[in-house]
Amino acid sequence: MATARFNTNVNVPEPNLARFLFADARLSPLWLILRIYIGYLWLFAGWEKLTNPAGVWVGGKAGAAVTGFLSGALKKTTGDHPDVSGWYAWFIQNVALPNATLFSYLVTFGEIVVGIALILGLFTGIAAFFAGLMNAAYLLAGTVSTNPWMFIAATWLVLAWRTAGYLGLDYFLLPKLGVLFNRRDQAKPETQ
């Protein structure tokens, strides 16, 4: 029996619309606005947790808020159409709840770091990925709130990683890491 072989030397070009939306620096002001807004939301959420006077996120009672949140999520695993799937309930029971204090610190400082990175345009694609990951975790725990549209915004920022931080620190850092910006005014004319 012959096995199918696929040509892996194929380069599929990026469609013009995708290139314009996600790789054209002319749209970087749009990504700047979205990036700063989403970053502010994450920074504010993390800062509220960090400065919580009851100390239920960080401090003496760290883990209490996470335990309450996750216990509430476990109550959403029943019925004909549960809000929390069985595999995520297993994760909550066997991984997250036994390590509630650790998750409390991870959530608090993760939100702050993601917020700062997005505001500054620092490793924007990576920061947006972790923002979307946190949104997905909250959605999987049955919390809708602002998470669906924030997840969509984070996904767009991941797709636009090349220009989402162009008006930010990525402009200076990405070239040092080998990501070169192809500027139109310096592009060499194509030879035929």
Distance CA 38, CA 21 (A): 18
pLDDT tens readout for residues 112-165: 999 999 999 999 999 999 999 999 999 999 999 999 999 999 999 999 999 999
* β strands within 3-111, DSSP E: none
pLDDT tens readout for residues 27-84: 999 999 999 999 999 999 999 999 999 999 999 999 999 999 999 999 999 888 899 9
Prediction pTM value: 0.86
Residue keyed to tokens 């892996």: 8
- The number of CA neighbours under 13 Å toward the Cβ of 181 is 22
CA triplet 129, 132, 133: central angle to 5 degrees?
A: 85
Instruction: Report which DSSP code applies to 55.
Output: -
Residue keyed to tokens 């924030």: 150
